[in-house]
Amino acid sequence: MGSIASFAQVFIALSNMPVRLDERLIIKPVLSLGYLVLLILPFAVGYRQGHQIKREGVPTYAPGPNEVVGGFLCGALAGGGLSLLAVLLTHFDLREPLVNWSPILLDLLAFGNATWFAAVIWLVIGGGMGAAGGVLRLLGPRSRRAVVTMVLVVLGVAVLESLVVDLAEGLGLEPLTDRLYARRGGVNWPSAVGLAVVSGLLAVVGRGRFRQARTRVSELEGAKRTQANVGLILLTAAVLIVLPLFAGKLTNELLANVGLFVLLALGLNVVVGLAGILDLGYVAFFAVGSYSAAVLTAATSPKIAPEMPWLVALIVVVIITGLVGLFIGAPVIRMRGDYLAIVTLGFGEIIRLLFLSDWLSGWFGGSQGITNIPAAGIFGLTDVAGTDPRRVFYLVLAFCALAIYVSWRLERSRLGRAWMAVREDETVAEAMGINTVNVKLLAFVVGAVLGSFSGAIFAAKVGSVFPASFLILVSIVILVVVIFGGMGNIIGVIAGSAVLIGVLGGPKQPGLLAEFSEFKLLIYGALLIWMMLARPEGLIPSVRRTRELRQHEMAQDAWLRGEVDDDDGGNGTGGASSAVLP
């Protein structure tokens, strides 16, 4: 495991991440984000090596000093990769194959000293982090929780500096942040220690309560539980409505971006999560929504410029996108599985290329796009434009609420059941009298319309549309969001967008960790792989999806618990039910 990690370490180092991130200080004089990236893996490996697989009948042994030693070895191995790299880099000219090689990297690795120093120091650092991971195993659950919270809070506050500052300004807490952060960015180390102590204490005192409350809620009976859930939803809504009032421009911009992606992801969720149609060209509907809104509202649109008010245009946009959905869907929907995915991928590109083409540039401006799209007027009350992200966010929020309502209601209807059946077994669904083509087409169109909302808001927010905004990457990012969050689950999809888009950033939009934006796709990929291995049902999975993926395990568990439906026993057929098969 240590050697795998060492490869990963070398890879990270060579991807230029540390150099780029070195400028960002985490804790004032001690730690920069660049080094942090290199420290995480040895630690994780050290912790992981103590992992015991729990099996029936195999005794688990108590963690002992072995963990520390093992952690040290694994960590050292991981660090060893960097040592080796440092040595190699000084003795051979590797500029040719390794494009990101630079003297700065070597300097960084060696802390400005000679190469041999780098080689030794990374072995020691890796070993140390690994051992720390091992020690974490030794701690009791309580102190482990405290330590983890401490580290996470300090790192979190440091990494999310811009967000915290922005929020603090809105709330009038500037003196606090002034003290917390150094001028050039990064947390002062005294305040870091203070934070750690406070959060550690809070973790010890508070966390247990939270868990208690959660189990209490889940133990409630039907009606009361619904009440609790409704209360929770109302609370979330209230927070979402109030929060932007205090947040600065930056945070609101972020929220608006996340909202746009939530809207897209909810639309795709209807197609992929509910009806099981793997659509890799979802960006097409986002593009059609944006472009039709642009053409309908902008005075500068090349061919026709009806200059409709945004809300009126929206109705037309919905109709247009619905028709495009039908038009694309009709041929595509008859295919199944992989073929369908490939064809949707193709259509996604075709739509973009059409907007880009010279042939239609008279309508859509080709690569110049359409600019000067006016703000979205809402009943003459307000104008929503990108210059005021707070209003954009409220608009997005309204449409998200609509999208959530639509998917929630449809899922629990005759149509939703039919989608489920189609996802389970298309042939049988057809044999049970479901017109699978119509039902799937409808899912496609609902998804398209939800996507077009996002597109129309996007056009008004950005004020211009270009074909380059609708790359295939957008489709993939939305799909990753849906898969990551938990396919088929509304809350999961929202959580997925918040984590991926909010923290890492969208295809073009910066997230909280703006420093990582260059390596966003790398991190997306790593996260997705890890997710598929560890938790294929997603962050917050739907019950049904979990069932699909873990059917056999669940059946086995049920059997172990003795809950299995082991045929009909004595009920009704008389005593001879255990008759031997002929």
DSSP class per residue in 301-332: -SS------HHHHHHHHHHHHHHHHHHHHHHH
Whose Cβ is closer to another protein: residue 178's or residue 425's? 425
Angle at the Cα of 125 from the Cα atoms of 529 and 142, rounded to 5 degrees: 70
Task: Kindly state whether residue 383 participates in binding another protein, applying the rule CB under 8 A.
Answer: no
Q: How many CB atoms lie within 10 A of CB 441?
A: 20
Whose Cβ is closer to another protein: residue 338's or residue 568's? 568
Q: Distance between CA atoms of 569 and 552, rounded to whole angstroms? A: 23
Among 46, 416, 505, 538, binds another protein (CB under 8 A): 416
Judge contact between 524 and 581, C-beta under 8 A. Answer: no
| Shortest Å, Cβ 574 to another protein | 7
Binding range to another protein, per CB under 8 A, among 81-89, 180-188, 317-325, 541-549: 541-549
Q: Distance between CA atoms of 60 and 52, rounded to whole angstroms? A: 7
Q: Distance between CA atoms of 530 and 520, rounded to whole angstroms? A: 15
Token pair, residue 498, equals: 């918040």
| Shortest Å, Cβ 407 to another protein | 10
Q: Distance between CA atoms of 484 and 478, rounded to whole angstroms? A: 10
Among 146, 442, 476, 495, binds another protein (CB under 8 A): 442
Task: Kindly state whether residue 436 participates in binding another protein, applying the rule CB under 8 A.
Answer: yes
Burial of residue 143, with CB atoms counted within 10 A of its CB: 0-12 exposed, 13-18 middle, 19 or more buried: middle
Give strand pairing partners of 27.
Answer: 31, 187
Binding range to another protein, per CB under 8 A, among 230-238, 367-375, 404-412, 473-481: 404-412
Judge contact between 58 and 90, C-beta under 8 A. Answer: no
Angle at the Cα of 344 from the Cα atoms of 340 and 345, rounded to 5 degrees: 115
SS (H, E, C) 42-99: HHHHHHHCCCCCCCCCCCCCCCCHHHHHHHHHHHHHHHHHHHHHHHHHHHCCCCCCCC
**Binding letters toward another protein, positions 445-464, x by CB under 8 A:** -x------------------
Binding range to another protein, per CB under 8 A, among 111-119, 223-231, 288-296, 430-438: 430-438
**Binding letters toward another protein, positions 202-241, x by CB under 8 A:** ----------------------------------------
Token pair, residue 72, equals: 């040290």
Whose Cβ is closer to another protein: residue 236's or residue 435's? 435
Q: Provide CB contacts within 8 A for 277, sequence distance 6+.
A: 271, 333, 340, 440, 443, 444
**What is the dihedral angle through the alpha carbons of 410, 416, 417, 420, rounded to the nearest 10 degrees?**
-150
Judge contact between 509 and 481, C-beta under 8 A. Answer: no
| Shortest Å, Cβ 38 to another protein | 43
Judge contact between 505 and 517, C-beta under 8 A. Answer: yes
Report which DSSP code applies to 25.
E
Among 3, 368, 372, 573, binds another protein (CB under 8 A): 573
Q: What b/e readout covers 546-561, taking b as 16+ CB neighbours within 10 angstroms?
A: bebbeeeeeeeeeeee
Among 94, 414, 530, 556, binds another protein (CB under 8 A): 414
Task: Kindly state whether residue 421 participates in binding another protein, applying the rule CB under 8 A.
Answer: yes
Site for another protein in 53-112 (CB under 8 A): none
Angle at the Cα of 254 from the Cα atoms of 248 and 255, rounded to 5 degrees: 90
| Shortest Å, Cβ 411 to another protein | 9
| Shortest Å, Cβ 495 to another protein | 22
Among 434, 441, 476, 478, binds another protein (CB under 8 A): 434
Binding range to another protein, per CB under 8 A, among 9-17, 44-52, 387-395, 550-558: 550-558
Among 60, 215, 218, 571, binds another protein (CB under 8 A): 571
Judge contact between 309 and 378, C-beta under 8 A. Answer: no
Site for another protein in 107-166 (CB under 8 A): none
| Shortest Å, Cβ 22 to another protein | 49
Question: Which among 203, 187, 207, 189 has a CA at the least distance from the CA of 150?
Answer: 203
Among 316, 415, 499, 528, binds another protein (CB under 8 A): 415
Among 427, 533, 534, 561, binds another protein (CB under 8 A): 427
Among 90, 430, 491, 499, binds another protein (CB under 8 A): 430
Report which DSSP code applies to 282.
T
Among 193, 326, 406, 528, binds another protein (CB under 8 A): 406
Among 3, 229, 387, 577, binds another protein (CB under 8 A): 577
Task: Kindly state whether residue 576 participates in binding another protein, applying the rule CB under 8 A.
Answer: yes
Binding range to another protein, per CB under 8 A, among 138-146, 350-358, 383-391, 573-581: 573-581
Among 144, 249, 334, 417, binds another protein (CB under 8 A): 417
| Interacting residues with another protein (CB under 8 A) | 405-406, 409-410, 412-418, 420-421, 424-425, 427-436, 442, 446, 544, 547-548, 551, 555, 558, 564-568, 571-574, 576-577, 579-582
